[in-house]
Chain A
Amino acid sequence: MPIITLQELKKVFRLKQKAPGLRGSFRALLRPEYQTVEAVKGISLEMEQGELLAFIGPNGAGKSTTIKMLTGILYPSSGEASVLGYIPWQQRRELSYHIGSIFGQKPQLWYHLPPIDTFELFAHLYELEPSAFRQRRDFLVEAFSLEELLHVPVRKLSLGQRMRCEVAASLLHRPRILFLDEPTIGLDVVAKQKLREAIKLLHEQEKLTIFLTSHDVGDVEALCRRVIVINHGQVIFDDTTSALKRRFLHKKIISVRFGQPVPEDFSVKNATLLKRGEWGVKIELDTRVRPVDNLIQAIMNYAPVMDINVEDPPMEDVIREIYAVEETIHLKEPVR
C-alpha cells in the first residue's frame, strides 16, 4: 500500500511583474501586473514504504515546491495528496511527528551552540521519552560518526560535519519518511560519500522511506533505485535508476593531465575530444560505444598520467537528452 500518493497536484504562483527602471517601478505601483507561473503542473505519483526515490530536475523544475506541498508547508492550487494517510497542508502538525526533512540550504542546528543542544531541543519538540531519546541519540551518533562533533559549537564544524549532524537531528524522532532537499549541496567528494553511506545504512536498517531531491547525479546513482525526473512542473521520466543510467547516463567526461606536453595531433578513437591544453585534455565518452576502462587503459599507455578525473554530465544535459528522446518518439506519457 502506498504511503505517499499524489493526484494531479498543481501549484500556481502569481508573480508581480515590473518593467526595468524608475518608470517601471512607478507603473508597477499604479497599475500592478501579475504573471501566473505554474510551478507544478499536475504531478501524480505513488511511493511505497521503504522506497528510496530520487526526485530530480533542473533549477525551477518544481522539485522544492512539490516537497513543500508534501510536508504541508505550501497549499496546492488543486489536486490531492496523502502522506502516511494525512493531508499534509490540513494536518501539518500531526504529520510533522512522523516525517523528517532536511533543506540543504536552511540549517536547523543552532549556529553558536553544539549539536547536542539542538538534539535535546528536538527531543522536547518531538515529545520523546528521555530514555528513548538517549538510546536513539547514541545510535545516530555511531551511525553518522558524530562522537567528536557532538560538543563542538556548530560554527566550528565543516560543512560536511554539519550536514551529518543535520541529518542525524532529523532522524531523532524516528520519522517514517525523510525528505531530503539537496542534502549534498556544497559538500566535497569525501563528505558526500560519508553522508551517502550513513543515509544508505539508515535506509537499510530501518526501512526508512526517503524522498530525495538533488542536482547531483552521483547522489542518485549511489542511493536510489527509482528516479523521477521533472521539468517545468511535469514528470518527464519515472523508472529505475538503472534504466536512467542505461538510457541517459552513458556519457562521461574524462579530464586527464599528462606528465608531458600534449602533441598537437593528439586524437582519440570512439570518443570526442572536447578540449586540448598544453598538458591536458578533456574527452567526452559514450560508454555504449567504448567502455571507460578501455579508454583509460589507452590513455595510460599513451603517456605518463599525473591526474585523471571521470565525471558525470551535468543534470541539465541529462534532462536535455530525456527531452530529445521524448520528442523523437512523441510520447505523451512520461518516458519509461
Chain B
Amino acid sequence: MIAETKYGTISANFRKYYAVVRINTQNSLAYTWDAVSQGILIAIFILIFARLWKVTFAAQGAEIIGDLTLRQTIWYFVWAEAIQLSKMNASFKMQEEVQDGSLAYTLGRPYNYLLYHFFSGVGEVFVRMASTLAFGMVIAWIEAGTPSFIRWETLPLLLMVTVLALVVDFCMSAMIGLTAFFFEDTMAFRLIYQKLLLVLGGVLLPLDFLPDSVQTVARLLPFNAVIYAPARLFVAWDTSQFLEILAVQGFWIAALGFLLALFFRFGTQRVSINGG
C-alpha cells in the first residue's frame, strides 16, 4: 500500500459536500425554466385548493375545520406543496444509475455515494424551493390574505424541520431507488410512496381533517414527518409540537438511515452493471 496522506478529515468532507451543493445549484440555475415551471404549477395548485376549501368551509358554515381556519389551510398548502414539488428525486436518479450503468462512475469516486446524492439534491432543492415558495405565496396572498398567524421569528427552526423532512424523504426515496439492484423497475414502489405521501403525508389535505383513528396512526409514520409536520408548524407554530416533530424525525432518520446503509452495502455487492 502506498504512503497515506490523511484523507477524509471533517473539514475536507465539509468542503467536499459543500462543493457538491454548489455545483448542483449552479447546474439548476441553468435550468431556470424548470424552476419557473414548478412555480407555475404550484400557483395553479394553490389556486385550485383555495377555491376548493373556500367552498368547503362555506358549505360547512364553519370558521375552523380540524383546528385550522380557511386562511391557515390555504397557507398550509403553500409550504406542503413547496416541499412536495421541490424535494429530491433520489429514487429515480438512483434507479437510472443502476439501470444505465453510470453507477460505475459515481461509485468509483472518493465520496460516500449516499451523501453525494443527498447533497446533490440539496443544491437542486434550493433553486426549486425559492421558485415554488415565491409563486405559491403570491397566489395565497391574493386568495387568502396576509398570513398574520405565521411567526416569522420561528423561521430558522421551521427551516430546520424542513431540512430534516427532506432527509427523511431522501432515506425512503433512496431505498426505493436502490431496489433497482434487486428488481428491474422501481416505478411501482415510487407510485406507492407517492400515494402514501398524498394521503398519510398531508399533501392532499392536512392530517387534522382525517378521522381521529387514522390521524393517530399517520402521526407515527414517517410520511407525515416529510410534508404535514413542517407545513403545520408554518401555519400554527407550537413549541411542544415542534419538539415532538423533532423526536419523530430523529427516530425515523436513525431507523431509515440505518436500513438504507444496510441496503446499500448489500446492494453494491450485487452490482452487475448493464453493458459492462
Q: Do A and B bind each other?
A: yes
A residues apposed to B, CB below 8 Å: 13-14, 64-65, 68, 71-75, 84-86, 92-94, 96-98, 101, 103, 105-106, 108, 110, 112-113, 117-118, 120-121, 124-127, 153, 176
Query: Distance in Å from the Cβ of A35 to the closest Cβ of chain B?
Result: 13
Question: Are A13 and B272 touching (Cβ within 8 A)?
Answer: yes
Among B7, B105, B110, B272, the residue within 8 A (CB) of A106 is B105
Interface SS of chain B: loop
Question: Are A126 and B110 touching (Cβ within 8 A)?
Answer: yes
Q: Which residues of A contact B68 (CB under 8 A)?
A: none
Question: Are A125 and B108 touching (Cβ within 8 A)?
Answer: no
Within 8 A of A (CB), among B1-38: 1-2, 5, 7-8, 12, 15-16, 18-20, 23, 26-27, 30-31
Question: Are B26 and A103 touching (Cβ within 8 A)?
Answer: no
Query: Distance in Å from the Cβ of B20 to the closest Cβ of chain A?
Result: 7
Q: Which residues of A contact B7 (CB under 8 A)?
A: 94, 97, 127
Q: Which residue of A lies closest to B108 (CB)?
A: A71
Q: Contacts A113-B26, A121-B23, A124-B15 known; A96 to B110 CB distance under 8 Å?
A: yes
Query: How many residues on chain B are close to A (CB under 8 Å)?
Result: 34
Complex CA–CA separation, A110 to B31 (angstroms): 13
Question: Are B271 and A101 touching (Cβ within 8 A)?
Answer: no
Question: Are B105 and A113 touching (Cβ within 8 A)?
Answer: no
Q: Which residue of B lies closest to A100 (CB)?
A: B108
Question: Are A73 and B2 touching (Cβ within 8 A)?
Answer: no
Question: Are A127 and B104 touching (Cβ within 8 A)?
Answer: no
What's the A-B contact tally at a CB cutoff of 8 Å?
A: 92
Among A64, A73, A121, the residue within 8 A (CB) of B107 is A73
- Most chain B beta-carbon contacts within 10 A, residue among A110, A113, A127: A127
Question: Are B27 and A96 touching (Cβ within 8 A)?
Answer: no
Q: Contacts A13-B272, A127-B16 known; A86 to B1 CB distance under 8 Å?
A: yes
Complex CA–CA separation, A105 to B102 (angstroms): 9
Complex CA–CA separation, A158 to B183 (angstroms): 37
Query: Distance in Å from the Cβ of B103 to the closest Cβ of chain A?
Result: 7
Q: Which residue of A lies closest to B271 (CB)?
A: A74
New A-B contacts (19) at CB < 8 Å, excluding given A64-B275, A73-B273: A65-B276, A71-B104, A71-B108, A72-B108, A74-B271, A74-B272, A84-B1, A85-B2, A92-B107, A93-B110, A93-B112, A101-B108, A103-B105, A106-B104, A110-B23, A112-B27, A113-B30, A121-B20, A125-B20
Complex CA–CA separation, A72 to B275 (angstroms): 17
Q: Which residues of A contact B1 (CB under 8 A)?
A: 84-86
Query: Distance in Å from the Cβ of A309 to the closest Cβ of chain B?
Result: 31
Q: Which residue of B lies closest to A3 (CB)?
A: B2
Among B12, B31, B108, the residue within 8 A (CB) of A112 is B31
Q: Please tell me if B101 contacts chain A, counting CB pairs below 8 Å.
A: yes
Give 9 A-B contacts (CB < 8 Å), ordered by A residue.
A68-B273, A73-B107, A73-B273, A85-B1, A85-B2, A108-B105, A112-B30, A117-B26, A118-B23
Query: Distance in Å from the Cβ of A283 to the closest Cβ of chain B?
Result: 36
Complex CA–CA separation, A72 to B105 (angstroms): 11
Question: Are A125 and B16 touching (Cβ within 8 A)?
Answer: yes
Query: Distance in Å from the Cβ of B184 to the closest Cβ of chain A?
Result: 8
Complex CA–CA separation, A113 to B26 (angstroms): 8
Complex CA–CA separation, A105 to B5 (angstroms): 32
Complex CA–CA separation, A124 to B30 (angstroms): 22
Query: Distance in Å from the Cβ of A115 to the closest Cβ of chain B?
Result: 12
Q: Which residues of A contact B268 (CB under 8 A)?
A: 75
Q: Contacts A68-B276, A74-B271 known; A124 to B105 CB distance under 8 Å?
A: no
Q: Which residues of B contact A64 (CB under 8 A)?
A: 273, 275-276
Among B23, B101, B102, B269, the residue within 8 A (CB) of A75 is B269
Among A14, A71, A98, the residue within 8 A (CB) of B2 is A98
Question: Are B19 and A124 touching (Cβ within 8 A)?
Answer: yes
Query: Distance in Å from the Cβ of A143 to the closest Cβ of chain B?
Result: 23
Query: Distance in Å from the Cβ of B119 to the closest Cβ of chain A?
Result: 11
Q: Please tell me if B53 contacts chain A, counting CB pairs below 8 Å.
A: no
Query: Distance in Å from the Cβ of A75 to the closest Cβ of chain B?
Result: 5
Question: Are B276 and A74 touching (Cβ within 8 A)?
Answer: yes
Within 8 A of A (CB), among B238-276: 268-269, 271-273, 275-276
Q: Which residues of A contact B5 (CB under 8 A)?
A: 97
Q: Please tell me if B111 contacts chain A, counting CB pairs below 8 Å.
A: yes
Query: Distance in Å from the Cβ of A122 to the closest Cβ of chain B?
Result: 9
CB-CB contacts of B81-116 with A at 8 A, as 1s and 0s?
A: 000000000000000000001111101111110000
Query: Distance in Å from the Cβ of B32 to the closest Cβ of chain A?
Result: 11
Complex CA–CA separation, A117 to B15 (angstroms): 15
Query: Distance in Å from the Cβ of B116 to the closest Cβ of chain A?
Result: 9
Q: Which residue of B lies closest to A65 (CB)?
A: B276
